[in-house]
């Protein structure tokens, strides 16, 4: 057992909705739907409070469907910058408990606490400490799963929601998973579930009992992996080995737009978000891509390889603007996205030239100020003049330019 690791999966419960209920006491105890400004807005549910879920409201469903299911729901616009700021506060708490923390989304992360037992106690004790710290300092609830690998820890935290703590002792992974429905297992979507039903598989235990050669014949290389996961065997690496291979942000407009200035401003805000995440992770990107979806839901993606890897907002923005300009003539745009890939550690890059070095130090100083005092302490003049916040926070279509005369002159 000496080779066993202790992995925690920490998941914020109904994160966006919980933040809104925390900050607006009048929403507490009410069904809250985050996404759009009202029940008749176009778009989808970003988060639903636990009071809304018994009505069948779930993330990803159209807002109008949510309104029909839960007529008494309170609809709240997405405030992406606020949620990102709270997420950073949560991750700062997690960093106290392990040097190996891997954030996998805005509201969840893995920790490897194998080496911290002597200082902080066993995994379950660390989990209790984390839950208490997040509640006391941020007035939010988290669910935590504790297990010997990422797969089982993630499933455990899901089962504990809301505000739960589920511990799976080493050696009991297979028996823990066995009675759970097959859809709980990572990598089992609708088509795989239908295929497994041909063999009478309804639970994870049923899958674990199937001979591996049957799964290999039916699913190819994916078969043995399915068998291993059904037996509770999963990846343990947290951090570098499982680091993200790309960084992206996207925004869906409430009203389809062919306003080039607004599209440019949206691309700038998206580029700033992507570049900020690159710098925070200490990496640069070699490839930049833009995603464009039109009013007919046709989606195109264009990408470009840069001359040198970068974490510069301006470099990313200029590239995606050039890619977008060629595609959107005569098009009404419903969604824009910016992605960075081909990530490289900064230590592997050549030394900056002096001018680049000065620019990078200035950007790092701005990032430090934003982290300490909030994302609005320093803002780009172009976004400030246009009163445009990050597009995943608020739709710039609704925010008129501060100087209409300037816009006509341009």
Domain coordinates in residue numbering, the chain:
15-80, 174-230, 244-409
Per the CB < 8 A criterion, the answer to whether 169 and 153 are in contact is no
Please state the rounded mean pLDDT for residues 107-117.
85
Phi, psi (deg, nearest 5) at residue 114: -55, -40
Assign 289 to helix, strand or coil: strand
Coil, helix or strand for 161? coil
Q: What is the pLDDT of residues 291-301, one digit of tens each?
A: 998 877 778 88
**Cβ pair 338, 290 in contact under 8 A:** yes
Mean pLDDT of the chain: 80
Q: Is the dihedral of CA 197, 202, 206, 208 positive or negative?
A: positive
Q: What single DSSP character describes residue 69?
A: H
Please give the helix or strand (H or E) that residue 389 lies within, else none: none
Q: Check: CB of residue 168 under 8 Å from CB of residue 233.
A: no
Range with the largest mean pLDDT of 101-110, 351-360, 391-400: 101-110
CATH number listed for the domain at residues 174-230? 1.10.150.20
User: Using CB atoms within 10 A of its CB, is residue 290 exposed (0-12), middle (13-18) or buried (19+)?
Assistant: buried
Bridge-based pairing of strands 32-34 and 74-76 is: parallel
Q: Which uninterrupted H or E stretch holds 307? A: strand 299-310
Task: Give pLDDT, residue 152.
Answer: 94
What SS3 class is residue 68? helix
Q: What span, in angstroms and rounded, lies between the C-alpha atoms of 366 and 370? A: 6
Integer Cα distance of 261 and 45 in angstroms: 28
| Rounded Cα distance, 144 and 153, in Å | 8
Q: Give CA–CA dist 134/128, Å, rounded.
A: 10
Residues annotated as catalytic (active site), given as ranges? 108
User: Which pLDDT score, from 0 to 100, does residue 159 have?
Assistant: 93
Fold topology of 244-409: Dna Ligase; domain 1 (3.30.1490)
| Nearest residue to 322 (alpha-carbon basis) of 263, 245, 250 | 263
* 15-80 and 174-230 share one fold: no
Q: What's the pLDDT score for residue 349?
A: 38
- Measured in whole angstroms, the distance separating CA 293 from the mean position of its chain's CA atoms is 20
CB 207 within 8 A of CB 196: yes
Band of the pLDDT at 45, cuts 50, 70, 90?
confident
Q: Judging by DSSP bridges, how do beta strands 7-12 and 108-112 pair with one another?
A: antiparallel
Measured in whole angstroms, the distance separating CA 354 from the mean position of its chain's CA atoms is: 35
User: Is domain 15-80 annotated with CATH 3.40.1170.60?
Assistant: yes
Q: How far apart are CA 105 and CA 408, in angstroms?
A: 41
Residues forming beta bridges with residue 251, ordered by sequence position: 336
Q: Using alpha carbons only, what angle is made at residue 123 by residues 120 and 127, rounded to the nearest 5 degrees?
A: 85
pLDDT digits (tens, 9 = 90+) for 10-43: 999 999 999 999 999 999 999 999 987 677 777 7
Lowest-pLDDT choice from 28-32, 94-98, 339-343, 356-360:
356-360
Amino acid 360: pLDDT: 54
Helical (H) or strand (E) element with 216: helix 212-219
Q: Residue 186: enclosing H or E segment and its boundaries?
A: none
């Amino acid at each position: 057992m000496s080779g066993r690791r202790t992995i925690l999966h920490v998941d914020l419960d109904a994160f966006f909705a919980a933040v809104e209920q925390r900050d607006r006491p009048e929403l507490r105890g009410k069904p809250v739907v985050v996404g759009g400004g009202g029940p008749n807005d176009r778009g989808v549910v970003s988060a639903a409070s636990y009071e809304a879920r018994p009505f069948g409201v779930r993330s990803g469903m159209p807002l109008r469907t949510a309104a029909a299911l839960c007529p008494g729901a309170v609809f709240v616009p997405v405030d992406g910058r606020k949620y990102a700021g709270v997420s950073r506060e949560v991750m700062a708490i997690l960093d106290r408990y392990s040097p190996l923390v891997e954030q996998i989304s805005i509201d969840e992360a893995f920790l490897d606490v194998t080496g911290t037992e002597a200082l902080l106690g066993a995994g379950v004790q660390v989990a209790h400490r984390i839950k208490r710290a997040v509640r006391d300092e941020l007035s939010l609830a988290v669910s935590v799963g504790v297990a010997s690998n990422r797969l089982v820890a993630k499933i455990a935290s899901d089962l504990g929601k809301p505000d739960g703590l589920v511990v799976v002792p080493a050696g009991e992974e297979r028996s823990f998973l066995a009675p759970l429905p097959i859809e709980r297992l990572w990598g089992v979507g609708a088509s795989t579930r239908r295929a497994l039903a041909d063999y009478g598989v309804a639970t994870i235990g049923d899958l674990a009992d199937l001979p591996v050669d049957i799964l290999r014949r039916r699913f190819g290389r994916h078969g043995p992996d399915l068998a291993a996961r059904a037996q509770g065997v999963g990846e343990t690496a947290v951090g570098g080995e499982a680091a993200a291979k790309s960084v992206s942000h996207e925004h869906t407009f409430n009203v389809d737009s062919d306003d080039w200035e607004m599209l440019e401003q949206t691309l700038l805000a998206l580029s700033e978000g992507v570049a900020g995440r690159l710098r925070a992770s200490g990496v640069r990107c070699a490839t930049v891509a833009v995603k464009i979806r039109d009013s007919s839901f046709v989606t195109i993606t264009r990408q470009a390889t840069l001359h040198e890897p970068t974490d510069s907002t301006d470099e990313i923005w200029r590239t995606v603007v050039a890619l977008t300009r060629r595609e959107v003539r005569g098009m009404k745009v419903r969604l824009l996205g910016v992605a960075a890939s081909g990530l490289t550690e900064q230590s592997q890059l050549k030394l900056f030239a002096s001018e680049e070095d000065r620019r990078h130090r200035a950007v790092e100083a701005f990032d430090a100020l934003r982290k300490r005092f909030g994302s609005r302490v320093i803002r780009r003049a172009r976004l400030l003049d246009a009163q445009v916040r990050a597009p995943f926070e608020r739709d710039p279509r609704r925010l008129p330019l501060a100087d209409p005369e300037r816009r006509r002159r341009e």
